[in-house]
Amino acid sequence: MNSFKLEIYATDGCFYNGDCEHLIFGSADGSRGVMAGHEPVICALARGEIRYLTDGEWNRVAVTEGFVEIMPTYVRLFADTAVKAEEVDEYRARSASARR
């Protein structure tokens, strides 16, 4: 399967930088999918879960609002926050604790 370079950035730094075979994310007008060779697009990123396929395995990440730059050979995703989906509850607990 063809791949493209995926970069995921949050305000605290680079979350992921590597190859990707398929990316699925939410936007203002619904779910979008990206594969290698996609036409250039810039769009808003909706809060929710993104999924990306690397080496035949799906990775899930919870993100907040941001934007996505899609080019034929790479995608750059910028979000306020990015957390592995399985770590969301732990992240919320730490954030709530820090606000006290």
Give me the CATH number covering residue 89.
2.60.15.10
- Backbone phi, psi, residue 71, to 5°: -130, 165
Q: Give this prediction's pTM.
A: 0.84
pLDDT at residue 100 in the model: 60
| Average confidence (pLDDT) per 10 residues, the chain, 100 residues | 94 96 95 96 96 96 97 97 79 58
Q: Which amino acid is at 85?
A: A
pLDDT at residue 87 in the model: 75
Number of domains in the chain: 1
Query: In terms of residue numbers, what domain contains 20?
Result: 4-99
Sheet holding 66-70, edge to edge: 13-20, 4-10, 74-79, 66-70, 41-45
Task: Please give the helix or strand (H or E) that residue 88 lies within, else none.
Answer: helix 88-99
Q: Which amino acid is at 74?
A: Y
